[in-house]
């Protein structure tokens, strides 16, 4: 185990060896093994957005085995999905790639202003399926954020006792925020901090814009001249907001987008000290060969030297 991996593990000093073992498994799998960087394949869009919106562009994606194979062939660190998708492949692919069981999910058939995901799996499910971590989404800014924080706390406490790691999707949403505010730098940094304070080992946020949502925060950002002009600076600020970089922070790729754009973002994440990307739609919504090439390019970007 190289020094960087050991350094990262050293941050999780209150966790038992089981949890650190599973974090090490995440750090040591795939093409980025040992670099302290991550590219994770998440496929929960079937539940979150519906099957056709997720898989019609590349119909192979309807098949749960496809994503295991995509993650494997691309050399991702891990594959994250809801219960059904993991149950449908965890037997065949046992031991071949670290798995993250997403324990809550939300659909848009009833799409409320203040969303709260349903708990759709258990820590024991994660263990019987051989996962290294549980995943959980919180919506800071929602009227139901308290409920989700508390569900996370309970699942997280249980997961840590059993030696699993905890990955938190922290996505600001709800009546507390404007649409633009959901990706405002002050809000995203705040969401990362909340996840870290809730005990997340790995934090996933969206890439932040330079918008400042909250007046009280805005005043400080301006007074203290926090550098947030470039994407790279904003990534650095989010990482700083996650215990000064002592928690793993990865960034979501978002909706399908222009490749050049995604690569640019990956470089900004890398240069800002981010730990990597979690890329779903941009990878599984294109032909397999394309997807592999695309993911290899991103992995190549992260394989570069740390700035």
Min CB(264)–a copy of itself separation in Å = 25
- Alpha carbons 210 and 186: distance in angstroms, whole number: 9
The DSSP element (H or E) to which 26 belongs, if any, is: helix 17-27
**Cβ-proximal residues to 306 (8 Å cutoff; 6+ apart), any chain:** 36, 270, 273
CA distances from 43 to 49, 79, 121, 142, 221 (A): 11, 8, 15, 23, 35
**Listed ranges 31-39, 119-127, 271-279, 290-298: which one lies at the site for a copy of itself (CB under 8 A):** 119-127
CA 226 from centre of chain = 25
Q: Is 273 in the site for a copy of itself (CB under 8 A)?
A: no
Active-site residue flag, 31:
no
Binding mask 218-237 for a copy of itself (x = CB under 8 A): --xx--x-x----------x
**How remote is the C-alpha of 215 from its chain's centroid?**
28
Residue 268, judged by CB atoms within 10 A of its CB (0-12, 13-18, 19+), counts as buried
Q: Enumerate residues 148-167 that contact a copy of itself by CB under 8 A.
A: 149-150, 153, 157, 161-163
253 binds a copy of itself (CB under 8 A): no
Residue 167 main-chain phi, psi, to 5 deg: -110, 125
Question: Cβ of 2: how many Cβ atoms within 10 Å?
Answer: 12
118 makes contact with a copy of itself (CB under 8 A): yes
Q: How far is the CB of 12 from a copy of itself (least distance, A)?
A: 8
- Shorter beta-carbon distance to a copy of itself: residue 141 or 266: 141
Residue 36's nearest CA partner among 263, 297, 189, 249 is 249
Q: Which is nearer to a copy of itself, 220 or 264 (CB)?
A: 220
307/300 Cα distance (integer angstroms): 15
Site for a copy of itself (CB under 8 A): which residue of 31, 73, 130, 263? 130
Q: Considering only residues 30, 36, 42, 141, which one is a binding residue for a copy of itself as defined by CB under 8 A?
A: 141
How many CB atoms lie under 10 A from the CB of residue 21? 15
Q: Which of residues 32-91 bind a copy of itself (CB under 8 A)?
A: 44, 46-47, 49-53, 55-57, 59, 62-64, 82-91
Residue among 126, 132, 131 at smallest CA distance from 24: 132
Q: Say which of 102, 204, 256, 293 is annotated catalytic.
A: 204
With contact defined as beta carbons under 8 Å apart, do 204 and 169 qualify?
yes
Question: For residue 62, what are its two tokens?
Answer: 């309807």
Residues 81-110 that bind a copy of itself (CB under 8 A): 82-92, 94-96, 105, 107-110
> Per CB under 8 A, which of residues 161..220 are in contact with a copy of itself?
161-163, 172, 174-177, 186-187, 189-194, 196-200, 214, 216-217, 220
Smallest distance, a copy of itself to C-beta of residue 103, A: 9
Q: How far is the CB of 253 from a copy of itself (least distance, A)?
A: 18
Q: Which is nearer to a copy of itself, 182 or 271 (CB)?
A: 182
Q: Which residues are catalytic?
A: 204
């Amino acid at each position: 185990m190289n020094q960087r991996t050991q350094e990262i593990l050293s941050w999780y000093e209150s966790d038992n060896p089981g949890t650190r073992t599973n974090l090490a498994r995440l750090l040591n799998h795939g093409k980025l093994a040992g670099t302290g960087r991550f590219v994770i394949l998440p496929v929960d869009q079937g539940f979150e957005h519906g099957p056709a919106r997720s898989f019609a562009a590349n119909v192979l994606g309807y098949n749960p085995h496809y994503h295991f194979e995509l993650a494997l062939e691309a050399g991702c660190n891990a594959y994250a999905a809801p219960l059904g998708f993991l149950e449908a492949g965890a037997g065949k692919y046992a031991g071949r790639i670290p798995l993250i069981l997403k324990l809550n999910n939300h659909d848009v058939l009833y799409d409320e202003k203040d969303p709260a995901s349903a708990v759709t799996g258990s820590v024991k499910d994660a263990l019987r399926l051989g996962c290294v971590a549980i995943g959980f989404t919180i919506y800071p800014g929602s009227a139901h954020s308290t409920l989700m924080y508390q569900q996370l706390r309970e699942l997280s406490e249980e997961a840590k006792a059993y030696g699993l790691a905890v990955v938190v999707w922290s996505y600001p949403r709800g009546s507390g925020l404007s649409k633009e505010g959901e990706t405002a730098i002050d809000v995203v940094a705040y969401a990362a901090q909340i996840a870290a304070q809730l005990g997340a080992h790995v934090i996933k946020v969206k890439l932040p814009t330079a918008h400042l949502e909250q007046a009280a925060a805005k005043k400080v950002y301006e007074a203290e001249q926090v550098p947030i002009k470039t994407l790279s600076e904003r990534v650095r600020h989010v990482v700083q907001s996650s215990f000064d970089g002592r928690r793993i922070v990865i960034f979501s790729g978002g909706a399908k987008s222009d490749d050049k754009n995604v690569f640019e973002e990956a470089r900004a994440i890398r240069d800002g000290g981010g730990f990597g990307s979690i890329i779903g739609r941009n990878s599984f919504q294109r032909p397999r060969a394309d997807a592999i090439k695309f993911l290899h390019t991103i992995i190549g970007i992260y394989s570069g030297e740390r700035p």
